[in-house]
Structure 1
């Protein structure tokens, strides 16, 4: 009987123990599930945090790079500004010097223009109305141009000075002699009609020979200093008008007496520029 009671008690105890173990196991399993869920949440939060940190690091690097670029740009700007201040000061000095030089050139040009206008007025007053029809006097860019038609100067188709030209050349020579500080270039020009005669091969020859004839007349007949004279020819290559009409050809057949200030004296005047600052 006692043995039976003992067996019953042992079985009951084992059953009770088994029931307790199942409850504990079930409780442990539930705790484990909760821990697993917490672990997964924590892992996801950590990954998100790492991503955020990486993004912030990239932003920080970009800001640092931008800041470095801005700093370099600022340093460069300050350097340029410093250099520009020096350059601007120098530029202002150069502008002031240039302005002085320009004023000087204007004074020289005004003086030259005034003399040329006096020369031109004196010449035109000395010519008769008939002569003025065949003599054109102009001042262009500070130079006096006296243009004479070929039919009043030369015998037809030649480079010989005719008698009709003597009075006009004498008046021009007088003006040239009165203005001793001027040089004289005599320039022959032709139309484009070919010419071929004894000792005249083409229009180059004709224009040069005609200019030479006028120079020698000024020297030999009217006493102009030959050191002031230059003869040159431009053939048919400096026309005033197209050679398509008789009027155009007539205008192009001319001899120009070009009166200019002596080059060396004019350059001396120009050379008197303001002294450079040292």
Structure 2
């Protein structure tokens, strides 16, 4: 690269002019030569540093260009990420709103179910109290009224209803069923399951009754017939079942224990149509 150094040349020219017009001493001459050499060295250093600075400048320009490219790439990626984030946020917002609405609906549904169950429990307890009061006179004959799992259980021992091995309801048993029917007629929203139970003694010499299954079923159907045909309860509400000897009250093998196991259980359960409807809506 061509450089112009005005000051040093002028100084050299001045020196030459001086030497041509004025006689210099050797001392002055050497001094001037030394100054010239110093200036030339300085000039060389400046040239070297100038080259280094130019190289550094070139490198910095290259780095700046690379950084500019990286910045543009980062900006493009940032824009893409922002678009993805915006789309995801919009979708998430919609999903969150939907989930929140579903959750709110489920909570409302649950509160409605809980309210219905609470109402049913209150009705069940009221029915239990009403039956206990109506059937109080038969408690000494082995009749009990209890609540279990949201249902009312009216348990009548076989000695209250039947003679030994018989499926024909006796007078005392009919009186108990008459009082029971009076209460049941005031309860339009209940289902009635009549279960027959026996002890584990084998059935002998009972004609058409082959075993405890037969005896338990026939006793249950006798009670159902009396309640529907005599007391005029709606047949659609009643169901008869025989459990035989397989759901005993007690496992003891005493005469008293066997007497407890021989029983008719009338299980009264509230209709859960409202709850079923709610669950169907929920699903």
TM-score clears 0.5:
yes
Cα distance, 1:173 vs structure 2 = 0.7
> What is the RMSD of the two structures over their aligned residues, measured on CA atoms?
2.8
**Which residue, 125, 145, 153 being the options, matches 2:153?**
145
Residue 97 of structure 1 is matched in structure 2 by 105
**Aligned residues of 1:211 and 1:255 also touching (Cα < 8 A):** yes
Q: Map of 1:69-148 to 2, 5 A cutoff?
A: 89=96, 93-131=101-139, 134-148=142-156
2:181 equivalent in structure 1: 173
Match of 1:160 among 156, 168, 174: 168
Instruction: Spell out the pairing of 1:236-275 with structure 2 (5 A cutoff).
Output: 236-262=245-271, 266-272=272-278
Residues 1:87 and 1:198: Cα distance change in structure 2 (over 3 Å): farther
Give the SS at the match of 2:185: helix
Gaps of 5+ in 1: 1-74
SS of 1:257's equivalent? Answer: strand
**TM, length-normalised to structure 1:** 0.62
Correspondence list, 1:183-194, <5 A: 183-194=191-202
Aligned-partner SS, 1:113:
helix
Shift of 1:272: 3.0
Consecutive unaligned residues of structure 2, counting only runs of 5 or more, are 1-80
Count of matched residue positions in the alignment of Structure 1 and Structure 2: 195
Separation in 2, partners of 1:99, 1:234: 40
Decide whether the 8 Å contact of 2:138 with 2:176 is kept in 1.
Answer: no
Q: Does the C-alpha gap of structure 1 residues 261 and 131 become closer, same or farther in structure 2, counting only changes over 3 Å?
A: same
Q: What is residue 208 of structure 2 aligned with on the other side? A: 199
Change (3 A) 1:247 1:94: farther
Question: In structure 2, what is the Cα distance between the partners aligned to 1:207 and 1:133?
Answer: 20
Structure 2: distance between partners of 1:133 and 1:92: 58
Q: Is the 8 A contact 1:120 1:137 kept in 2?
A: yes
Equivalent in the alignment of 2:226: 217
